Structure 1
């Protein structure tokens, strides 16, 4: 008895050894991906020197309601309206829905499939073919019902990697949607600030029209006393017309800016006509948060999206590698098959099957290797895109900060120049009215005062525009929380996707 058991065990081991040898032989004979790899690695924020340009100032990251710092309730309402009605937001939501559907499709590939089929066929069988009597040459009704199941063993993880890639693409789509929101709100806030700029410049232009009218009246009085000629009068009238033309141009710019705001909100141009004059405040003190380069990678939606795309292609590389290995599918079916209706539900009509199908690529003229090379090329491109996105983000923050600091310095000098130019203008008009100076002196002083007023107004508006741009460059209150959700679904990104892609 023991001898028989020993022989049986020996036979099983021999069978396993034989199967292993056959499998090794088949794998060595089939196509492989030797020599295909990538050495690209995602850059770390610390690789790029930025401590001088981006100093730690113990500031705070922007919150989702960063626009509230300017104290304009209308701006807040416009931003909320835009997020609800803009077609660009609807497009982003549609892309997320498409990515979600693709993820569900990929998940279905990892699960068993069960199908039920039924067919009813009325057929005349040939009397000279393989069908025996009494069915040969007769009409028969064939009933067939089949319940089948199939399952891909996915021994090498091809379907699982496809699912992980789809999940990562979904996360990238969601980050893209946040980027669309941030881009939209930033554009709307900056356009709204432009509307505020135009109103301030219009006030200055209106004051200039009034000054030119005053100069024209003084010139008319001086002509009556013989101090000026018609040359000065015509000059004063020309300057007055020019000032009125500049005022009309600003009115046109205000109108077109209203239309731009309406378009950003996803509304018709008439909606822009309802927008009141902005009442924007100075905003919060500008200070950068600590540990900025490292934290920025989870605060900027464009960087997050680029990182998830690297992760997605990492899994696509693994999926492409799995194509080189045997693919084993299990299938089983049970059903009923009979001629006529009377015998369909009888035990004799039962039918069943079970089996396995193995697919092993042996020679494909280099198709699988070419596909893997393509995936690695996509991986290299995604890594380079991520690196460039990170560089652009750091540069963007540094640029906005430098512009704000520069505007602060310029503003002090510009306000001093404005005060001096305004006093000189008032003094020149007083002297001109009293006959102590000529019109050219008045016009020069008036032009200097106008330019000084415009310079201060533009610097104030530029600084606020730069504050808005800085809030956007710091992510606009976005924080990436997708990693936790993905890990809970057992589809998280690897800590080092580059290693996984090699």
Structure 2
């Protein structure tokens, strides 16, 4: 008759159980919008770069290569180069490979461990030794052995399963970190190119403004010499010229930094450059902007998915800590042959074998196992709050970008109106000067105002382009349409996390 304890042990070996909480993917937020008040893009000013009308297409999908919507071949080529050569992205890809290999290595615990050993010893026994000696009673002899050892630890309480589960989740976290790096890289290249184009236009306009200010100053000095104006007016113009000249080095520095940044993002040295001088006029502003539903955002943002994978890994660590407090069973088997000469190792009568089973359970560890379990549960709570923070940050990012796009359109309208008014003023000043109704100084002042309005318009254009890029990134970047990034997607989890007992079977 089988004893009850034997029956229980046999059932555990055959079925096993997995202690600790089972993981369930967190539910998507139930909010219906990103901002408290409805946000809609507006018409800015037709006929200028970045002045097209933009509309939000709610619920539409994001293309994989969203940057192609700007219709810039140099930008497409640079992003392609960056995705192929950027060292940060390559490092993230290597980290993903290492995490996947660690996860595969962890699966080795599911199988028996097999080892082969061969030993050769020359032994001297003292006369009258109590230990067994060869049948020849020789005290000096050779002993040769060859054996195969097999050991296996049945996963009775799911320690191995939870360990593999944690390693798989860590591999997923590394994967989503790599995807986030990929998406951020494309967005950074686009935004840096836009900033470089804007700064290039600002440098040109500021140089022209400095030339006009210098011309105005020469006229005013002539007028001062003739007694037509006072020294105060000349000093004010000298101050204005000095301020304009002082702003040029900073603009040139920023432009050079953006060019250096583009080269480094593309995996090149700053001295090598990127071979393309971007201009805002060469970009096309996307008019139809996809806007994912709030319920879909958490399934698209790679940083949120990375936080979710970290949460999964933390929940598995709880099971690992619990399993470490429970008994472990080890099964072992040995078989081999021992002989006094190598030629007789595998002959009949030299073989041996053995079977064994060992059950080990922690009795006293100074409280370390208990506190490790508590630490694992606290780590899970930490990961849960980090996941919640990642979700909130994602919604904040989208909300900020939507608001910025709406304000960018209004800012561009105002800048375009100021630019148009400055052009009209300049045209009228030139006509009055030609007809003798105004002095040339009035024309120069109008040119100054026109150039200053031009700088403001360029800045407003660049903001609209850059915030459009930010929207694509904030919504996830469309990575789920790229075959190179969607390999190895795990099936969605369907079990419940921390709602069952810690020793759930």
Q: TM-score range by the shorter chain?
A: 0.7 to 0.9
Task: Indicate whether 1:87 and 2:87 are aligned.
Answer: yes
Q: How does 1:2-401 map to 2 (within 5 A)?
A: 12=1, 15-17=2-4, 19=6, 42=26, 44-46=28-30, 50=34, 52=36, 57-58=57-58, 60-132=60-132, 138-212=139-213, 214-215=215-216, 219=220, 227=228, 239=240, 243-244=244-245, 246-247=247-248, 249-272=250-273, 274-278=275-279, 280-290=282-292, 292-401=293-402
Aligned-pair CA distance for 1:231: 7.3
Do the aligned residues in 2 keep the contact of 1:258 with 1:275 (CA within 8 Å)? no
TM-score by length of 1: 0.83
Q: Give the number of equivalent residue pairs.
A: 473
Q: Write the distance in 1 (CA, Å) between the matches of 2:178 and 2:277.
A: 30
Q: Which moved more, 1:371-380 or 1:208-217?
A: 208-217
3-state DSSP class of the match of 2:349?
Answer: helix
After superposition, what is the alpha-carbon deviation per residue over 1:256-303, rounded to whole angstroms, capped at 9, x for unaligned?
Answer: 22111112222111222633233542421254435x211111211111
Do the aligned residues in 2 keep the contact of 1:311 with 1:493 (CA within 8 Å)? no
Do the aligned residues in 2 keep the contact of 1:71 with 1:281 (CA within 8 Å)? yes
CA RMSD in angstroms comes to 3.5
Measured at CA, do residues 77 and 213 of structure 1 come closer, stay the same or move farther in structure 2, by a change above 3 Å? same
Aligned-pair CA distance for 1:117: 0.9
Measured at CA, do residues 175 and 447 of structure 1 come closer, stay the same or move farther in structure 2, by a change above 3 Å? same
Q: Which moved more, 1:42-51 or 1:230-239?
A: 230-239
Bigger helix fraction: 1
Do the aligned residues in 2 keep the contact of 1:61 with 1:474 (CA within 8 Å)? no
Q: Write the distance in 1 (CA, Å) between the matches of 2:420 and 2:132.
A: 114
Do the aligned residues in 1 keep the contact of 2:118 with 2:146 (CA within 8 Å)? yes
Aligned-pair CA distance for 1:366: 2.2
3-state DSSP class of the match of 1:410?
Answer: helix
Q: Which moved more, 1:455-464 or 1:53-62?
A: 53-62
Q: Write the distance in 2 (CA, Å) between the matches of 1:140 and 1:326.
A: 43
Q: For structure 1, list consecutive stretches of 5 or more residues without a partner in the other structure.
A: 1-11, 24-32
Q: Write the distance in 1 (CA, Å) between the matches of 2:274 and 2:186.
A: 20
Higher relative contact order (CA 8 A, sep 6+): 2
Q: Write the distance in 1 (CA, Å) between the matches of 2:189 and 2:126.
A: 77
Do the aligned residues in 1 keep the contact of 2:21 with 2:316 (CA within 8 Å)? no
Q: Write the distance in 2 (CA, Å) between the matches of 1:418 and 1:384.
A: 49
Residue 402 of structure 1: aligned partner: 403
TM-score by length of 2: 0.82
